[in-house]
């Protein structure tokens, strides 16, 4: 990945990146602790978010909230170019203390209504705003460039999402896959196994795995593990003890939790706890 421009602070980050010859193995299933806006500039592929697959179309904006799992699938060696903003709620607190601007991320089912197109932003040149997030100068100036150009985009998205709800426009998943994803997310703290899921959905284990793999690009267990790790980490960072956090997200064996956590985050749970 060639990074054209990058800026990161404690609460907000931005990068403009181009993969001239992208390959599938570069892009793994993942999620973030922050909100994300991805402006797709060019390329050829699919974007799978919580089991819902969207075609990557030029001048589209994808939005993901914290812990919303997503994955890019590359379909050719066409250069893949995007601009991405990651931000925490704290980045907007002074401007938006009640969280109005993040409702478009939070008040919807995971994996649904993730995409908007630039031609929907009437009266707003979103492309120009994203390019204006890139600037030279001191850290304060770079931070200000991102925040000041992000605000109009978020404000417009908030009003556009209301219009979608009124007109009942939505991007929904395959019914079975959608129900499966929602069920897993509601029961992350419970005992989850393929057998339990198979009994609940009246489908064989192989059928469930096939539906999930085709829809998300990953296995049911990999998905559950990542979701549980992210949930436990959020608790740890909020001050909850590491053992209690692991148990609240379905880990009955702390040593297994420790190994998975260390492998995924490159840091131990206790070290993460001390940093909060």
CA distance 176 to 161: 25
CA distance 101 to 97: 10
Count of CB atoms situated within 10 Å of the CB of 213: 14
User: How confident is the model over 72-94, as pLDDT tens digits?
Assistant: 888 888 899 999 999 999 999 99
CB of 111 closer than 8 Å to CB of 181: yes
120 and 196 assigned to the same domain: no
Which pLDDT value is given to residue 22? 83
108 and 216 assigned to the same domain: no
Mean pLDDT of the chain: 90
- Read off the CATH number of the domain in which 115 is found: 2.60.120.10
- Name the domain boundary from 112, 145, 167: 167
The b-or-e profile of 214-251 (16+ CB within 10 A means b, else e) is ebbbbebeebbbbbbbbbbbebbeeebebeebbeebbb
212 and 163 assigned to the same domain: no
CA distance 250 to 266: 21
User: How confident is the model over 185-233, as pLDDT tens digits?
Assistant: 999 999 899 999 999 999 999 999 888 888 887 899 999 999 999 999 9
For residues 22-47, give the mean pLDDT: 89
Instruction: Name residues whose C-beta falls within 8 Å of residue 248's C-beta, 6 or more positions apart in sequence.
Output: 189, 231, 232, 235, 240
Q: What is the DSSP letter of 107?
A: S
* Burial bucket for residue 103 (CB in 10 Å: 0-12, 13-18, 19+): middle
For residues 153-160, give the mean pLDDT: 95
91 and 26 assigned to the same domain: yes
Distance between alpha carbon 119 and the CA centroid of its chain, in Å? Answer: 23
CA distance 89 to 33: 10
86 and 106 assigned to the same domain: yes
35 and 55 assigned to the same domain: yes
Is the model's pLDDT at 171 over the cut of 60?
A: no
Is the model's pLDDT at 128 over the cut of 90?
A: yes
User: How confident is the model over 249-262, as pLDDT tens digits?
Assistant: 999 899 999 999 99
- Per mean pLDDT, which range of 39-43, 82-86, 113-117, 207-211 is the poorest? 207-211
Q: Residue 29: which domain range? A: 2-167
Which pLDDT value is given to residue 273? 82
148 and 231 assigned to the same domain: no
Is the model's pLDDT at 168 over the cut of 50?
A: no
| Element of type H or E holding 88 | none
150 and 15 assigned to the same domain: yes
Total of domains in the chain: 2
94 and 7 assigned to the same domain: yes
Which pLDDT value is given to residue 119? 92
User: How confident is the model over 173-186, as pLDDT tens digits?
Assistant: 567 888 898 899 99
Is the model's pLDDT at 115 over the cut of 80?
A: yes
- Name the domain boundary from 118, 138, 167: 167
147 and 199 assigned to the same domain: no
- Read off the CATH number of the domain in which 239 is found: 1.10.10.60
106 and 20 assigned to the same domain: yes
- Please count the CA atoms within 13 angstroms of the CA of 91 that sit on its side-chain side: 24
Residue 1: helix, strand or coil by DSSP?
coil
More confident residue, 24 or 95: 95
Which pLDDT value is given to residue 275? 76
Please give the biggest Cα pair distance in the chain: 59
Query: Helical H runs in 72-219?
Result: 103-106, 126-132, 139-167, 175-186, 194-201, 205-216
For residues 113-137, give the mean pLDDT: 94
First to last CA, the chain: 31
Give me the residue label for tokens 């559950």.
224
- Name the domain boundary from 167, 193, 225: 167
């Amino acid at each position: 990945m060639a990074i054209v421009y990058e800026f990161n602070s404690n609460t907000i980050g931005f990068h403009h990146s181009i993969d001239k010859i992208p390959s599938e193995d570069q892009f793994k299933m993942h999620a973030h602790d922050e909100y994300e806006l991805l402006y797709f500039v060019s390329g050829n592929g699919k974007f799978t978010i919580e089991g819902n697959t969207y075609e990557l179309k030029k001048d589209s904006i994808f939005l993901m909230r914290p812990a919303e799992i997503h994955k890019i699938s590359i379909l050719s060696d066409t250069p893949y170019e995007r601009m991405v903003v990651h931000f925490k709620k704290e980045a907007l607190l002074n401007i938006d203390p009640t969280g109005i601007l993040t409702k478009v991320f939070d008040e919807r089912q995971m994996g649904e209504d993730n995409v908007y197109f630039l031609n929907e932003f009437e009266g707003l040149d979103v492309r120009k705003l994203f390019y204006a997030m890139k600037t030279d100068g001191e850290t304060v100036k770079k931070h200000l460039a991102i925040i000041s150009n992000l605000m109009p985009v978020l404000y417009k998205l908030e009003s556009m999402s209301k219009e979608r709800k009124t007109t009942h426009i939505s991007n929904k998943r395959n019914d079975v896959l959608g129900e499966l994803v929602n069920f897993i997310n509601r029961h992350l703290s419970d005992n989850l196994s393929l057998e339990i899921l198979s009994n609940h959905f009246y489908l064989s284990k192989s059928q469930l795995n096939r539906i999930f793999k085709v829809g998300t690009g990953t296995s049911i267990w990999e998905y559950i593990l990542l979701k549980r790790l992210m949930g436990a980490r959020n608790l740890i960072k909020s001050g909850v003890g590491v053992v209690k956090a692991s148990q609240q997200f379905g880990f009955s064996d702390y040593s297994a939790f420790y190994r998975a956590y260390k492998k995924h985050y490159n840091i131990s749970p206790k070290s993460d706890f001390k940093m909060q």
